[in-house]
Structure formats: structure tokens, C-alpha cells
Amino acid sequence: MREMKALWTAVLGLAAATVLAAPATAADPPVAFGGGGASILMWTPEQQAWGYRNMEKIGPVAPVKRGEHVFPLPVAAHPIDPAIRYKGKTYTAESYMAAFRVSGLLVIKDGQIVLERYGLGRRPDERWTSFSVAKSVTSTLIGAAIRDGYIKSLDEPVTTYIPELKGSAYEGVTVRQLITMTSGVKWNEDYTDLNSDVAKVGLSVLEPGVNPVVSYMRKLPREAAPGTKFVYKTGETDLAGILLSNAVHKPMAQYLSEKIWAPFGMEQDAIWVEDIAGHERGGCCMSMTLRDYGRIGLFMLGGGVAGGQPVLPDGWVADATRPHVKDPPYGYFWWLTPGAYEAEGIFGQSISVFPAEHLVVVQNAAWPAAWNDDLDGGRQAMLSAVRAAVK
């Protein structure tokens, strides 16, 4: 149930983000959102379909600016329509999307689009929220900061870049241990306990002038030596984002624009949801077009080159996508599966990169649950069918 690990990322930034009625457009009727702090986890299917593509109308966001050119994505002469077999049924791409509430499905093989479909009323020019897919972007930007010299190495202490953590359980924890979630700091990720760490972190200003996430995290105790124990900690992905922006001395959204979004050639501006202190969340909630999700996969597949210039240190992609943690297989905020590495987010968001096959598969969705074996089993069946269809 690895996607449940990301569940509260959404809650932390958006649990209190509500509107009484979403603005109507010609294509969108008003959608009522609870006025009493209803969580994004509780959205109805109608609220999901509208809200996931209109996050900037629900809470504060930072823009990620595109550049002057667009990376081309030619459409292949021979598209695919894979036969997706799951639990005794066979789905076409269209029927799979309807059954699993998929708003966008994109397959890029050898740099060409072999499948591109939209659902849930979404248009090709509309963005969709990433949920925890953003984590993988954050770790990639840390790689860029190392190449730029803002961060000396992954073995530097976290306290070098977040000095407010000195004297806490994060004393002696390295950047590498932070982005592999092996800090050894004690953490409760119990989603059903309103007193758990994941339920409380970052929701209120505890110390004026200190980011609320930092204030909370520096009060936690240590339970294991750094580097010896993997525990999924949502709060640490936000610490990674704060570390990055402190190191580069600029907002995460601006640095992403400068390093990847503009030079690689994304087709539209993206947005990045901010926390209550106005800082982009390192672990959640970018919004971008389906094709720009695909371009992130292509950027990684190409070794981290944008505009003809290397953005990441030599060997970074291979290092970031190998198993630094064995169980579950985990890299630098990338999930690892046989033959692939994946950026994943709750409710069905994923970028799956198959390097040996020169294949990128993107899914955006509004699953009826944040994650469960049945829903992800359907996604895995789709990936298998796609791989078979492009051979």
C-alpha cells in the first residue's frame, strides 16, 4: 500500500482550502465545496473532476513559468489501443479510462506519442494536480542544486541548509538520508489518528519567523541511527523543499522554471500549491498539462538535459532511480518497479519511465479512493498492456 504513504500530503496543504462555490465557466457548472474545512480527501467525484484541474481557484499557488519554445511531441503514424486485461475483463483504452476514472492517458514511445486520450471532461490544454508526483520533482531539483554548487553534496548535513534544525533529532542527518526517508527521526504516519504527526505537521504557525513544518519537525525525537531505518515521513518531503529553496536563495517554482520548465520546453506554465507560510510544498500538488507530465519523463529519460545543457550531475538519474532502500524499493523520492522508475501520487497520478524501452507512460485520474490494491492493480494491468502493445 505504498501510495497510502502519500495520503496526508494532500491534507496538509489543502485540508482547510475550501470555497463556497467554484466559479462557473461555459464548460463548468458551479461546484459546491464544503465551507467548513472539508478535506480534499472527501471530495465527491464531481468535485474531483473540477477541483483537480482548477487548484489555483481553491488555494494559494506559485506559478512555474514556461519558456519561449516548446519541446516537440510528434504523433506517431501508428497509434496503439492496448487490450487491457484485468480480473477477467478486457478493456480498450477508452473503456479503461471510464472504468477507472482516468482524466488523461499518455504514452510516448521513442519520443513519439502513440496514445493520448482525455476523460472526465478534461481538455488537452487543462492542467491536473500531481499530488505526490511533485516529490520526484523536488529531489530532481536538489540534484540541479548540487550541479550548480548551491548544495555541496548529498552527504552534507541537513542543518547546513536548515540551521533551525540544529540541536534537534536532525542533527547529523544528511541530505541523502532526508531524500531516502532514512533520517531515523521518530514519526507517526497514522492517517486515522488526528493526533498523529502527519495529521498535525505544518497546520499552524508555532514560532513566528520559522516555517511551520520546520517548527514541528525539530521537536521530534530520534528512534534510530541516521541511515539505518526507512520510515515514510510526509513532513520530510516538505523539509526537502525548504532545504532546496534555502540553498538556492529563491522560490522552488522559480528555480524549477529556470532549470527545467523553460529550457526543456514545457508547453504551459505550471502551478505549485503553497503552504500556510507561502512556501511551495516539496511533497505535493503541482498542476500541469498531460503532455508536460510526459516531458518530465522524457527529461529523466534523456539523462537530465534541458536546452542542450546538462541540468543534473553526471550519473544523477541512474543514482536517483536505484534502490537506496530495499524494502520497499525506493530511490530519491522515486518508486522502483521491475524495469521502471515511477513518480506516483494518490488518486491515480503517475509518471512511469521504462528506460530500456524508451517508454514514458503518464496517467492522471480521480480514483474513488486515494489508493487500494484493486485500483493500482488496474493501473499495473494498463502498464503491462501498453508495454506489450509497443513492442
Note the pLDDT of residue 16: 37
Note the pLDDT of residue 76: 98
Note the pLDDT of residue 37: 38
Distance (Å, rounded) from C-alpha 68 to C-alpha 127?
A: 19
Note the pLDDT of residue 32: 67
Note the pLDDT of residue 175: 98
CATH architecture of residue range(s) 2-147+245-389: 3-Layer(aba) Sandwich (3.40)
Distance (Å, rounded) from C-alpha 33 to C-alpha 58?
A: 9
Alpha carbons within 13 A on the beta-carbon side of 341: 22
Distance (Å, rounded) from C-alpha 12 to C-alpha 24?
A: 27
Note the pLDDT of residue 34: 53
User: pTM (2 decimals)?
Assistant: 0.93
Most distant pair of Cα atoms in the chain: their distance = 60
- Domain layout of the chain by residue ranges: 2-147+245-389
DSSP 279: -
Work out whether the CA dihedral 284, 286, 290, 291 comes out positive or negative: negative
* Mean pLDDT, contiguous 10-residue spans, the chain (391 residues): 43 40 50 56 92 94 98 98 98 98 98 98 98 97 98 98 97 98 92 78 86 95 96 92 98 98 98 94 96 98 98 98 96 97 96 98 96 96 98 92
Note the pLDDT of residue 42: 84
Kindly report the three-state secondary structure assignment for every residue of 86-152: ECCEEECHHHHHHHCCEEEEEEEECCEEEEEEECCCCCCCCCEECCCHHHHHHHHHHHHHHHCCCCC
